[in-house]
Chains A and B, each alone.
Chain A
Amino acid sequence: MATGENEPLISTAVTSRETERSARADETILEARGLDVHYGEDRALREVTAEIPERKVTAIIGPSGCGKSTFLRSINRMNDQIEVCRVEGDLLFRGKNVYDDDVDPVALRRKIGQVFQKPNPFPKSIRDNVTYGLRVQGKSATDDDVERALRGAALWSEVEGKLDSSGLDLSGGQQQRLCIARAIAPDPEVVLMDEPTSALDPVAASKIEDLIAELAREYTVVIVTHNMQQAARISDETMVFLTGGELVEFDDTATIFENPANQAVEDYITGKFG
């Protein structure tokens, strides 16, 4: 398969949004410095150093077991849940190392929301799912908050009349958007997404993709995906992890997909391995 010199390996369609937001300064919101993660004896991340820009979509791609989810979970310290997990190095959120002793992971997660691979709404009403984050923070949740979050997750028109029915009665794609509404309702600064569309059918997946572009107007989105076309379509920046937990290349999505610096990355993107 011969690739023309100027022809991109995979076309990227994010240019339209790029111009609109270029007025804002590219500020780093998350920064990893020599981040190492071990699971017992296994080293899942190796010396990861990266700066993730604010209010952009940063995609993390790589083959299975390359550490992309581990990296994502180390940002909001969900790795703390795993007993054998050990983190070394720094991960800065707005310049503050989240692994400092004085950082409470609960407070951190109120600033950094997460959406998971499998939709995981609570067995509660749609309204209670959305307001959960506000309620655990001791804040009152108004109907406006519910509407704002559901509109933000492009779910409002579908559930407007049935806010008190169970979140579990929704379809898979709607459940995932409910989880997005739940994540953005407490107004975090970053939304982490761990393969949010891999359990969904293509139509539901494309709705979520459209939504991610919208979310990046207000939030910093970091998304793990195994779907390279998806990363190319929706992200501004792309991190490529390859086997062994190493961050091999991190650049503009356009550069990664059209002209990667690393040969292994090019091989991975063109499907020669992984």
Chain B
Amino acid sequence: MATVSTDTDSGVLSDADLRWVKRKEVLFHATLFLASVFGVAMLGLLVFDVLFETAVGVLVLGIDVTTFLTSGASRDWERAGFLPAIIGSVWLVLLTLIFSFFLGVSTATYLEEYAPNTRTVRLIEANLTNLAGVPSVVYGLLALGVFVNGLRLGSILLAGSIALALLVVPIVIVASQEALRAVPSGVRDGSLATGATRWQTVRGVVLPAALPGIVTGTILALARAIGETAPLIMVGAVLQARQTPDPFSLFGSMPTMIYYWAFRPITEFHNLAALGILVLLTILVGMYGVAFFVRNRYERRL
């Protein structure tokens, strides 16, 4: 990059001094690159920290991973485990999926395929987008007021999953709407022109074509739900999950358990929290992997 300007015998191009322009370009390029690396670096730092704490826990303190994965919470860090929290989170995600998927996909289908373009419908759409941005703790308060106290469900797992479903439904709706919008209108026209009714078109052609996008969006939304702590604390999750929960019992979850351990004064519990985070991250990566697989395997060019 020593001589950027090109001197020729005839001097035709010699007056074009590009050195400064090129330097600015390199600077700009570097800025963009560093900005994009920032996120990856932070993730790397996070993973490193968690792995380090875990390694210290397992190798130095001698935490038994098998005990950790097969037993419940305990005052004694050597016997404390994560199993009830894992089972609680699995139940929560399953119920959240059931509550949010049908409600979300139905809403999105109505809005995209049936609803007339009126002021009311536009108002509903704008509010759904706003709902997707409401802090999760607010949904926890709502579930606490309406379901735990109002309907007297108590602080059971079902109430927790309702809080998470409230949180996730707007995200599922928005993702499903985008997936439905991505189905080319030619496909709908083709179906209607073949003598299909509106419902036959939606069920037979549009939803199957949009399904990979809907499933991917739902999995990503659930991945967010599985890590949510605040709404579960609001609903009254048990911080020290000792017993394996069912939908109608008191419950703990992975994030609330991690939250609890991280605030214990005994530092060995911090290493337990790190191990818990590792389990949570592994499950999250697994869910992202499934979403990625579904997108690549089933999402076709239309």
Residues in A lying within 8 Å of B, measured CB to CB:
76, 78, 81, 83, 106-107, 109-110, 113-114, 116, 118, 120-124, 132-133, 135-137, 166, 168, 179, 182-183, 186, 192
Contact = CB atoms under 8 A, between A and B. Distances in A.
Interface string B189-211: 11111111100100011001100
Contact of A136 (B187, B189, B197): B197
Given A120-B189, A168-B302, A106 B205 contact: no
Contacts of B209: 122-123
Contacts of B187: 120, 122-123
Interface in B73-132: 116-117
Contacts of B200: 136
Given A122-B187, A168-B301, A168-B302, A132 B194 contact: yes
Contacts of A113: 193-195
Contacts of A110: 195
A121 B302 CA distance: 8
B116 A132 contact: no
B302 A179 contact: no
Given A132-B204, A136-B204, A120 B194 contact: no
Given A123-B208, A132-B191, A168-B301, A116 B186 contact: yes
Contacts of A121: 190
A136 B186 contact: no
A247 to B, nearest CB: 23
A84 to B, nearest CB: 10
Contacts of B300: 123, 166, 168
Contacts of A192: 193
B186 A183 contact: no
Contacts of A182: 190, 194
A136 B302 contact: no
A190 to B, nearest CB: 11
A118 B186 contact: yes
Given A166-B300, A168-B302, A109 B195 contact: yes
Nearest to B190: A120
B207 to A, nearest CB: 11
A120 B195 contact: no
Interface of B: 116-117, 184, 186-187, 189-197, 200, 204-205, 208-209, 300-302
18 contacts: A78-B193, A83-B117, A109-B194, A114-B189, A118-B186, A122-B191, A122-B205, A123-B205, A132-B205, A135-B204, A136-B191, A136-B194, A136-B195, A137-B195, A166-B300, A182-B194, A183-B193, A192-B193
Shortest beta-carbon contacts, A-B, top 10: A110-B195, A120-B186, A114-B193, A136-B196, A133-B194, A120-B190, A109-B195, A136-B200, A123-B209, A122-B205
A127 to B, nearest CB: 14
Contacts of B184: 120
A106 B117 CA distance: 23
A179 B195 CA distance: 14
B189 A78 contact: yes
A118 B302 CA distance: 11
A179 B190 CA distance: 8
Given A106-B197, A132-B196, A166-B300, A116 B189 contact: yes
B204 A78 contact: no
A191 B187 CA distance: 18
A132 B192 CA distance: 11
A123 B302 contact: yes
A120 B197 CA distance: 18
Q: Identify the interface centre among A81, A109, A122: most chain B CB within 10 Å of its CB.
A: A122
B195 A133 contact: yes
Contacts of A122: 187, 190-191, 205, 209
Given A78-B193, A123-B302, A124-B205, 18 more contacts: A106-B196, A109-B194, A109-B195, A113-B194, A114-B189, A120-B184, A120-B187, A120-B190, A123-B187, A123-B205, A132-B196, A135-B204, A136-B195, A136-B204, A168-B302, A179-B190, A182-B194, A192-B193
A214 B300 CA distance: 33
B192 A109 contact: yes
B130 to A, nearest CB: 26
A106 B193 CA distance: 8
Contacts of B195: 106-107, 109-110, 113, 133, 136-137, 186
B116 A83 contact: yes
Nearest to A119: B186
B24 to A, nearest CB: 44
Contacts of B190: 114, 116, 120-122, 179, 182
Nearest to B116: A83
Nearest to B198: A106
Contacts of B197: 106, 136
B169 to A, nearest CB: 27
Contacts of B196: 106, 132-133, 136
A109 B193 contact: yes
A14 B189 CA distance: 31
A183 B194 CA distance: 6
A96 B61 CA distance: 87
A192 B197 CA distance: 19
Most chain B CB within 10 A, of A124, A132, A182, A183, is at A132
